[in-house]
Amino acid sequence: MKTIRERTSMVVFAVMAMMGVAFLAAPNLANSQTTTAVSGAASFNPPPCDYKDQFYMDNGLDPTQVVGRFGSARLTGPPATGNQVNWVADSTCSQRDPDRRNFRILAITGGFPDDQSGSPTEFITILGFVTNQNLIPSGINAFETTYSRNVGAINGGLDGDQQNPGETISIVNSANPRSITMQNLVSNFEAYPAPKQRLANGQIALNPCQADMVSPLAPAQPCFDLSTVNAVFTPALRQDWRFATNRNAIDGSDNNCISNNPAVCTPPNGTGSAPPQSDSPFGYFCDDLLGMWINSFFWYTVDPADHTSPLGKTCTPILKKLGQQNGLTPDGTPIVKTGDELDNILEANGCAAEGQLAFDGSDGGAIWLVCPAIPDPRAGAISADAFLDQAHNSNGTVQNIGLLENFLSLQIFGVFFTQLESSQQSQITAQAVKQQ
């Protein structure tokens, strides 16, 4: 059986051949990988690479505490399968972005945005994991407590005339110059992994094994384990991720509602009949520069086959309806695409719960992720050799073909699927169906 990567490459070349468009290989890639796939369209967005150590430190995270960091670890293994590799050396990374080191990421993880649309349009790269706030007894903090670096100092440019003391990037008492601690900042960005709950014996576990996460709605045993970072690798997930990149910029630069004027931030009639606009304090792409998230695991607290218990009687019709709408996971539970489905439909009725791992690391596992969303996955950001990391059904087919269609469309044409001509869409759909 061909791997996804091999099949993806075939699609790339096949479509390009059909279109008669020359393949735009990046010149002098010393480390072998072909990066450019976009046919014809402008290719100006760089593909994702790992950050430099200094960039991690400038943003408050000790890079030595990043577990399973791409470029240093996890060359093979999940999400890569078969002959795939998760990353390659690529000397163009730092040329295109001086904050990046020369390891380009091929494993592109797909998911849903947190905008209630349920659209399969998010693409991220899971660079590594943070599993402790602080190591005992060494006292090493994952989030830096003190740091200082001067940048931009110029002494003697322009024949000695130019002088500039530069700016100091500092972290004091764990807080950056805006007095925001990285931990607090990241708590504003939740990623929602959905661990598989069906155990090897076929039984469904309704709670995690981590005692501080157990929901009172379901028995604590049997349980599913979240104690290693493997728990958030896609093969261990029952469905694709959901991410909240739509958080706001504190300075209003993304046109979020930071005004206190009710005429601006509440419905025009001022009745409060609708909630005020989202007004969260941080913007993902302008504040969370490492692209970090806190994992909010969510799980079902009821067996979909339970039609007899009070909770089962309540939840069975809810699960059935949601399953008909969104499809089912390999566990036989519905796929959840939006926050509304999780919070107001499932959790409100006791059919699901959510929680985070303990900050002291005692639960094990990935408390936080370094997994920056690709700001604009169009126009070159998805390279020819990249592969899509997504959830699969039990029969091996991809769970969300729309995600694959978008990925292939971005990889080949540099645009989202909906932006294609109908003939192009047909080509992509055919390939996606073939690949899944």
Chain contacts with another protein (rule: CB under 8 A): 132-136, 141, 143, 145, 170, 172-175, 177-181, 183-184, 187-188, 190, 211-213, 215-217, 250, 258-263, 265-266, 270-276, 279-281, 294, 339, 342-343, 347-350, 353-363
Shortest CB 148 distance to another protein, Å: 10
Shortest CB 187 distance to another protein, Å: 5
Answer whether 382's CB lies under 8 Å from 410's CB.
yes
d(CA 431, CA 405) in angstroms, rounded, equals: 8
> Looking at beta carbons only, is 273 or 423 nearer to another protein?
273
Shortest CB 295 distance to another protein, Å: 11
d(CA 303, CA 197) in angstroms, rounded, equals: 10
How would you class 108 by CB atoms within 10 Å of its CB: exposed for 0-12, middle for 13-18, buried for 19 or more?
A: buried
> Looking at beta carbons only, is 81 or 184 nearer to another protein?
184
> Looking at beta carbons only, is 203 or 344 nearer to another protein?
344
> Looking at beta carbons only, is 269 or 308 nearer to another protein?
269
Shortest CB 319 distance to another protein, Å: 15
Q: Which residues of 115-151 are buried (b: 16+ CB within 10 A; e: fewer)?
A: beebbbbbbbbbbbbbbbbeeeeeeebbbbbebeeee
Helix and strand numbers (H, E) in the chain are 11, 19
Shortest CB 128 distance to another protein, Å: 19
d(CA 230, CA 239) in angstroms, rounded, equals: 15
Shortest CB 179 distance to another protein, Å: 3
What letter represents residue 131's amino acid? T
> Looking at beta carbons only, is 293 or 407 nearer to another protein?
293
Do β-strands 387-389 and 107-113 pair in parallel, antiparallel, or remain unpaired?
parallel
d(CA 144, CA 130) in angstroms, rounded, equals: 13
d(CA 112, CA 119) in angstroms, rounded, equals: 6
Answer whether 368's CB lies under 8 Å from 359's CB.
no
> Looking at beta carbons only, is 335 or 351 nearer to another protein?
351
> Looking at beta carbons only, is 93 or 342 nearer to another protein?
342
Shortest CB 359 distance to another protein, Å: 4
Note the Cα 263 to chain centre separation in Å: 35
